[in-house]
A and B are shown apart, each in its own frame.
Chain A
Amino acid sequence: MTTLETPPPGRAKRGNRFALPNGAYRGLLAAMGAIFVGLVAWFIISMIVQARPAFSTLGFSWIIQKTWDPTHNKYGLLPFILGTVETTAIAMVLALPIGLGTALALAYLVPHRVRQGLSSAVELLAAVPSVVYGLWGLIVLAPLFREDVEPFLTSILGWTGLFNGPNEGVGLLLAGIILFVMVLPTMVAISRDVLAVVPSEQVEGAMALGATRWQVLRKVVVPGARTGILGAFTLATGRALGETVAVALVIGNSPYIAHSVKSTASTLPALIVNNFGEATGTELSALFGAGLVLLLIGVTVNAVARVLVRSAARSGAASMAVA
């Protein structure tokens, strides 16, 4: 007669060494969640509290005033808000078509053997620290822009009036180009993911109807991935708006509204990082105010982007591979 062997008693117990009762475990998890929520709340509230003196001494209009001159107690943010918007606009005007074209090529045109390798390489480039792009822009691109690129662009596009003034190398244009290079991996990686998962029945159906390759891409693939592409674009815009050191290194940092894309200018993040060290009193709380404006822009843009990317994911597309 055989008996069932019971496991040695010590083994079964081992699993319970760390075991909290279910209630305590749930409590611990909730507490950890609360830590995160608490940190975010602390983050937002402390920004508001620190920026308040600027609003109470300067009113609300200082945000849209044109002059930043701490020695005369003027703290207008308009030049910096415009600089932020302009550099981001230059970057995104380039990143949308080039990023989308690259993503289409990576998802549908490049031979299968190199597709995975190239796509991983693009994702890795998103990890290169931004200060490295800044260094490269300042040391390598700025002289190139001053000597060759800006004179050339002025000669062919000077009639638009956008290229007036001296060729300085650093300025809005260079900052926009650096941002374009920096956000490209984000734009490409996410849009490639959403483009690649357009149902193949639709692609094949269009091909069977006699559509050419480009007609398939333009009329079936891109519309099918529209929401995801828009989400990728918005996420990339958020990155460009908030980038600090790379822009601070190549934009020239002048507190005036730019009159040409070659002008030196500044952005909200660059303003903060350049003046934070020496600022005191009203200037310091004005910088906190600039941070608060940036925070609001960041929340808005990223919230929109996440809603778009998530609704694309829900409709059976998009991976969250790149955050």
Chain B
Amino acid sequence: MTTLNFDASTDPILERRRAIQNAAATSLGRRKISSRIAIGICWAFLAIAIVPLVAVIAYVVVKGLPAWNTDFFTQSTVPEGIPGGGVWNAIVGTAEIGFFATAVTVPIGLLCGLTLAESDGNIAAAVRFTADVMTGMPSITIGIFGYIAIVKTTGKYSGLAGAFAIGFIMLPVIMRAGETAIRGVPRDLSEAALALGARRATIAHRVLVPAALPGITTGVLLAVARGLGETAPLLLTIFGNQYLQWNPTKPMEALPLVIYNNSSQPYANLLQIAWGAALLLMVVVLVLSVGSRVLAVVLQRERR
């Protein structure tokens, strides 16, 4: 670094500039080294973050794939000590619980989302905040609620009690996703419809919801993915069932329950079924998550 040749003692401003130049020059090497080290640590942290996440997925795939045979998809779960078995009853349970939870939650959630998107008052703000807080609520507390509200009231564990708890977990997620998507629809569209004399309900049904469909689809699928993976609420509501049960008013089995119950079993076949069920659940959840994004892009493109 070149230093300017002035008589520094005569000019306080120049003297100050030279002091700053010197300080920057002498600290440059030190700053460069500490920058290198700190940036290196960031890279190392990235590696530390990726390793366990990749390891989980790799383990589940490697240990789970051998479990996938015909029996796995067609037989019901077996008790300890009996060889073989599958998870057909758990697949039926998870599918039915997911279906009922989604079927009830999506219409209510979307209408709530519409409400929130169209109102800016204090009450709407409070509801919005409540929904946000509910999305982070420990799922076990919602399981307890499912137990109190349905199991205690009806006097028995049932698939529907599980669907109630799972639906209550999904509801705020769908509400907020729906609201965000509907708020993203350009104002001109709804104002044009209003100018044509359309009623509010017509605008919602023929303008807002169709225009917000990509966002709504993503939100719903992500909520379903989250709901299907929940374990704790199911433990308190559907109880589990060794046998195939199609009737949702009876205790049912579900994939997360199989994983949870089998993971501490000493029997190799049960453990293998746990890995297989983990792989199945993970594939379903990841397909829903990835699928929701792909579908959103496709729907968006179709529109143009």
Contact = CB atoms under 8 A, between A and B. Distances in A.
Interface of A: 15-16, 18-22, 24-26, 28-30, 32-33, 35-37, 39-40, 42-43, 46-47, 50, 97-102, 104-106, 109-110, 120, 122, 124-125, 127-136, 138-140, 181, 184-185, 188, 210, 212-215, 217-218, 235, 238-239, 241-245, 249, 269, 272-273, 276, 287-288, 291, 294-295, 298-299, 301-303, 305-306, 320, 323
B238 interface: no
Interface stretch (B5-13, B47-55, B80-88, B243-251): B47-55
Interface string B112-141: 101110100000000101111111111111
Query: What 5 A-B pairs have minimum CB-CB distances, sorted nearest first?
Result: A242-B138, A129-B229, A101-B45, A214-B35, A212-B35
Interface string B194-214: 000011111011100000000
Interface in B213-264: 222, 225-226, 228-232, 235-236, 256, 259-260, 263-264
B142 interface: yes
B130 A20 contact: no
Contacts of A305: 136
A101 B231 contact: no
B133 A25 contact: no
A302 B133 contact: yes
Contacts of B168: 39, 43
Contact of A104 (B24, B42, B176): B42
16 contacts: A15-B206, A22-B200, A29-B115, A33-B112, A42-B145, A101-B44, A127-B226, A129-B231, A132-B229, A133-B56, A134-B259, A134-B263, A136-B59, A140-B55, A214-B36, A302-B136
Interface in B268-285: 271, 274-275, 278, 281-282, 285
Contacts of B118: 29
Contacts of B46: 101-102, 105-106, 109-110
Contacts of B137: 242, 295, 298-299, 302
B177 to A, nearest CB: 8
Nearest to B263: A135
The majority secondary structure among interface residues of chain A is helix
B136 A29 contact: no
A50 B200 contact: no
A92 to B, nearest CB: 15
B143 to A, nearest CB: 8
B157 to A, nearest CB: 10
B180 interface: yes
B60 A306 contact: no
